[in-house]
Each structure stands twice: as C-alpha cells, then as structure tokens.
Chains A and B, each alone.
Chain A
Amino acid sequence: MPDFKPAEMMTIAAARALSNDDVCFVGIGAPSAACNLARLTHAPDITLIYESGTIGTRPDVLPLSIGDGELCETALTTVSGPEMFRYWLQGGRITIGFLAAAQIDKYGNINTTVVGDYHKPKVRLPGGGGAPEIAISCGEIFITARHQKRVFVDKLDFITSLGHGPNGEGRAAFGVHTKGPTKLITDLCVMEPDPETLAFTVASLHPGVTREAVRDETGWSVAFADSVEETPPPTDEELTVLRDLQARTKAAHAAG
C-alpha cells in the first residue's frame, strides 16, 4: 500500500463515488478536487458544472474560486447566472450535487450560514450561495468534509440546505422528491444514510482508521453498518494524478 494522507484518501474516495455518465454540480474546495480527480482517472467524460455558468469544464488546475477563467476557457459552453439556476439546476438536468459543509448533522442537513444565533452570530459564515437549491434540485447529493467534532454536530445552529430533515422526517415533508444526501465522504470513512432512520451510518472505514476514531470526532451517537468494509486504499495512479493536480494548482495560484 502506498503512503497517503487522510485528506488524500478523502478526495480519492469521493472521486470514486462519481461515474462517467454523471452531470455534476461542483461545490468549491474539496468537492472540486474530487470531481476533477474523477475526470482525470476513471470518469473522463463526466460533465462538471460550476455555478458560475460553466458547463462541461475541464480545468488543468483546480480553480481557487468557482469562476476562475480556467473554467470558462475549458468549458463546452458558459451560460448566464439566471439560465444556470433556472434551466439547468431547477430544470432537473443535474444528477449529482457535490457539496462541502461547515457544519453537518446526522441527517445530512448543512449549515454554512452562522455559528450561534442568526441575528447575533458568534461567527458569520459566508452563507449558502447556490446550496439551498442545489440540495433540493439535483438527483442526489454527495457531501465531503473533514471529520471533526465541530463539523459533525448533533444539532445545527442553522439549516442552510436540506438533507433528510432536522428530525430525519424525510424530504417529502418539505415537498422535495429528489434523493438528497446519499454519501458522506470524510477523511476517516464513507457514510451512507440508514434506510430506516435516514441517519448517516458508517459504510466503510479508511485503511487504519478505528471505530473509536470515528466516534471521537462525531458529535452524534454514530451507528455502523452491519458489515463495515475497509475502503480500498488509494492506487498509485490515483495518488499520482491527485498530487500532480495539486502541485499544478499550487504553482498556478502562487503566480499572481
């Protein structure tokens, strides 16, 4: 097994969740790395869409923002903001929405708005951006986040975007009929919603990660699937492609 960092395992496991036929709405940060890694390895024809309006983009380096010129220059086409959100997202053309989270609960509801009270916030976060509608309009949602207790919380301070409902009541209660969060990929494990409770449950542990480590970094009482598997370790190809991509990106962004 090659040496790898937990963050690399997270990106690689997230990339594996995507297929060649997907049309994927890409969130910035960790999702962007995973989606492009998928494109550069097993899913060369995946359609990546960024909310800046770029459709079918194939960046050589990861964008710092969702609207770097690289995304437009390598896209099949670029559309306006209203067209992106109305025709393509609301119109139901996107199979996967890939989101990151500042806070997430066991039902895959996400907070990127505030820590503390909305009107008297302890920390004012950037806000939802496209997430409230990405979360309800894409066929299903993948989420990737570092596994830390302050991120994986029992109760969110604010629900920016809907998962399976604050009490796991399901999305239909909110008039939403897409699947919602089906995978949560962290640097410790891959989680999937339990079919009965809808709570995220550990499906596979990354190599070397213990159940105790997951429990320690999860703010809710985490359940494990009946047969927890070990996530296959990164292959040499996955690691090489990811590290090359990150090295190119670092050099490009430092150039200024």
Chain B
Amino acid sequence: MARIMPLGEAVAQCVTDGASLAMEGFTHLIPHAAAHEVIRQGRKDLTVMRMTPDLIYDQMIGMGCVAKLIFSFAGNPGVGLLRRLRDAVENGWPRAIEIEEHSHAAMANAYEAGAAGLPCAIFRGYRGAELKRVNPNIKSVICPFTGEELAAVPALNPDVAIIHAQKADKQGNVLIEGIVGVQKEAVLAAKAAIVTVEEVVEDLRGLHPNLCILPHWTVDCISVVPGGAHPSYTQGYYPRDNAFYTEWDAISADRDGFLAWMDEHVLKSGPEDFARHAGKGA
C-alpha cells in the first residue's frame, strides 16, 4: 500500500546494503534524484540492473555503491562510452565490479517474466551471438511442440524497483505516459517499489480507459520530487537536457573531476535541488 513520504525516508526504508535494485526508465523518466539519494545514503554492495545503465549507474559505480551490474547497453546514448563504468571494468576503480551482460530483448523479456511470476523468459534470441559464450545465465530450451531451440534467461526479480513517473493521485495510484519502457514490469517484478513523481493530483480515475497506471497497492513509497528525472526528461513537464548528457562526457573523464562534481551536486545537495529543472516546458 503506497505511502507518500520524503525521498530520503523512502530510500532508507527500502534500500539496504547488498540489495538488488532496478532503477528503470528507457531514456525517458530516469530516476536521477533517487539514484543520488542512494549514493548520499552510502549504500554498498548493490546489485544493480537496468537495460541502459546511462548516467545514474555510471555515478553509482564511480561512487563505489555497486558490486554487480546486469545490463544490455552501457553507453551515454548518442555521446559515447560510460567512463566511470569503463574505469571499474578495465581498472577496478574504485572497486572491481561483476558484470552480467544481456541484449535488450533478453532484459525486457526477463522483467516481463519476473512480473508474470515465471522462473525464466523464453524468446528467439542470441543466435550466432557471442554473449552466450561469456554469460552462463544465457541458456536454451527446446520447444516441446515444434522442436525449435529458443533462448532462455532467468527472470529478473529485484528486491527494489525505483522509477520516476508523471503523477500519482492522493490514493497513491501512479500514472506513466510517453516512452514507458519496462517500468511497469520492473515494479511488478520487484519485492518493493519506490516511485518519485512530478506531482500529486486529486484522482487519476476517468482520464482515459487505457492509461498505463500502477495501482496504489503495487507501490510501497511515493515521493514527490519535481524535476527528479533531470537530465533525463518527463514527457509533458520538461525536455531531455541533451547538453548535459554531452557535458557528462567531460565531467566523468577523470576521477578527480568526477568526484568533485559528485561532491557538489550530489553529496552536498538534496532532492529539492531538482525542482529548478521542473517546469521548463516539454
């Protein structure tokens, strides 16, 4: 049953050292404010999963929060590589991390299987691809009806899913619209879920019969964080800050510059600092 509470309280309640986290959002609605809160609270040894690790996992890895990363595309989209992730994988800085690498289709299927309560996902994938040589969690099954060999990967069932959404209503029902990615699946696959939202409205009923809505009883904590997806975006509220995504390449290029930026913008800041990014028009 969803309770509306400050973000710091929500993260303290749900995220423990060693937990597995899915902080999803496919380019759109990436929960940046929540990731910063996890970093500020100093969580360690996390297993983090995400189709597109993007800047938030680059930041969490660079700050030493992560023991294992499960992912399918680890780039700064349209800009280049994730430099903190590279430093961890290539040089073990600030700590070595384990990686489990999949394709997008595998991750999307694995979240769906997790939401559906199945032990694994089955799909036509990885044929002729070398990831199955290096990832023991990519296996195959034979269709009992046709004999076709299909790829199988374990379902993803994170301890905690954290997402950002447009709005919740007072009862705690959550509306997501635009590019919805795998957020619904991640929340339904998880043992607990935190949703940051731009705003709380009176009631979401009756707006449209097919809206993507997570009922309040699928979510544990809702935190109101206007601008909380920045530099990602919230459709209808503010656009993607493409200039910042480009700047991140330079900010994250060396360890000292990265740490200085994190100190100023994360460790010495709070969720309320995201508000200045809200309401810039979409």
The reply to whether B103 and A128 contact each other, CB–CB distance below 8 Å, is yes
**CB proximity of A209 to chain B, nearest CB, Å:** 28
User: A171: which B residues are within 8 A, CB to CB?
Assistant: 128
A255 sits at the interface (CB 8 A): yes
The reply to whether B104 and A85 contact each other, CB–CB distance below 8 Å, is yes
The reply to whether B108 and A82 contact each other, CB–CB distance below 8 Å, is yes
Known contacts A54-B179, A72-B235, A121-B89: A29-B78 contact under CB 8 Å: yes
Interface residues on A, range: 35 or more
User: B78: which A residues are within 8 A, CB to CB?
Assistant: 28-29, 63-65
Interface residues on B, range: 35 or more
Report which of A51, A80, A89, A253 forms a contact with B184, defined as CB distance below 8 A: A80
Residue picked from A64, A65, A159, most chain B C-beta under 10 Å: A65
User: B242: which A residues are within 8 A, CB to CB?
Assistant: 64-65, 68, 252-253, 256
A254 sits at the interface (CB 8 A): yes
User: A80: which B residues are within 8 A, CB to CB?
Assistant: 180-182, 184-185, 212
The reply to whether B72 and A128 contact each other, CB–CB distance below 8 Å, is yes
B112 sits at the interface (CB 8 A): yes
B63-101: CB near A (< 8 Å → 1, else 0) gives: 000000001111101110110011001100000000001
B143 sits at the interface (CB 8 A): no
**CB proximity of A131 to chain B, nearest CB, Å:** 7
The reply to whether B103 and A131 contact each other, CB–CB distance below 8 Å, is yes
Taken together as a complex, chains A and B put the C-alpha atoms of A171 and B129 apart, in Å, by 11
B149 sits at the interface (CB 8 A): yes
Taken together as a complex, chains A and B put the C-alpha atoms of A158 and B128 apart, in Å, by 11
Q: Give the residues from 123 to 148 in chain A that come closer than 8 angstroms, CB to CB, to chain B.
A: 123-133, 135-137
Q: Which residue on chain B has the smallest CB distance to residue A133?
A: B105
A162 sits at the interface (CB 8 A): yes
B172-199: CB near A (< 8 Å → 1, else 0) gives: 0000001111101100000000000000
The reply to whether B245 and A128 contact each other, CB–CB distance below 8 Å, is no
The reply to whether B111 and A126 contact each other, CB–CB distance below 8 Å, is no
User: A81: which B residues are within 8 A, CB to CB?
Assistant: 26, 51, 104, 108, 111, 180-182, 185
Taken together as a complex, chains A and B put the C-alpha atoms of A96 and B9 apart, in Å, by 48
A66 sits at the interface (CB 8 A): yes
Taken together as a complex, chains A and B put the C-alpha atoms of A85 and B105 apart, in Å, by 5
Known contacts A85-B105, A131-B103, A256-B242: A67-B129 contact under CB 8 Å: no
Q: Give the residues from 98 to 138 in chain B that come closer than 8 angstroms, CB to CB, to chain A.
A: 101, 103-105, 108-109, 111-112, 123-131, 134
**CB proximity of A71 to chain B, nearest CB, Å:** 8
B8 sits at the interface (CB 8 A): no
The reply to whether A175 and B127 contact each other, CB–CB distance below 8 Å, is yes
**CB proximity of B146 to chain A, nearest CB, Å:** 12
A118 sits at the interface (CB 8 A): yes
Known contacts A65-B27, A67-B77, A136-B127: A130-B239 contact under CB 8 Å: no
The reply to whether A72 and B131 contact each other, CB–CB distance below 8 Å, is no
Taken together as a complex, chains A and B put the C-alpha atoms of A85 and B151 apart, in Å, by 14
**CB proximity of A157 to chain B, nearest CB, Å:** 10
User: A133: which B residues are within 8 A, CB to CB?
Assistant: 103-105, 123-126
Known contacts A52-B27, A80-B181, A129-B72: A113-B103 contact under CB 8 Å: no
Known contacts A52-B181, A175-B127: A124-B243 contact under CB 8 Å: no
B57 sits at the interface (CB 8 A): no
The reply to whether A136 and B182 contact each other, CB–CB distance below 8 Å, is no
The reply to whether A121 and B245 contact each other, CB–CB distance below 8 Å, is no
**CB proximity of A89 to chain B, nearest CB, Å:** 7
Taken together as a complex, chains A and B put the C-alpha atoms of A69 and B240 apart, in Å, by 7
The reply to whether A64 and B109 contact each other, CB–CB distance below 8 Å, is no
A9 sits at the interface (CB 8 A): no
B244 sits at the interface (CB 8 A): yes
User: A85: which B residues are within 8 A, CB to CB?
Assistant: 104-105, 108-109, 123
B43 sits at the interface (CB 8 A): no
**CB proximity of A82 to chain B, nearest CB, Å:** 4
Taken together as a complex, chains A and B put the C-alpha atoms of A241 and B120 apart, in Å, by 47
A12-54: CB near B (< 8 Å → 1, else 0) gives: 0000000000000000110000000000000000000001111
Taken together as a complex, chains A and B put the C-alpha atoms of A227 and B73 apart, in Å, by 40
User: B239: which A residues are within 8 A, CB to CB?
Assistant: 69
Taken together as a complex, chains A and B put the C-alpha atoms of A130 and B73 apart, in Å, by 8
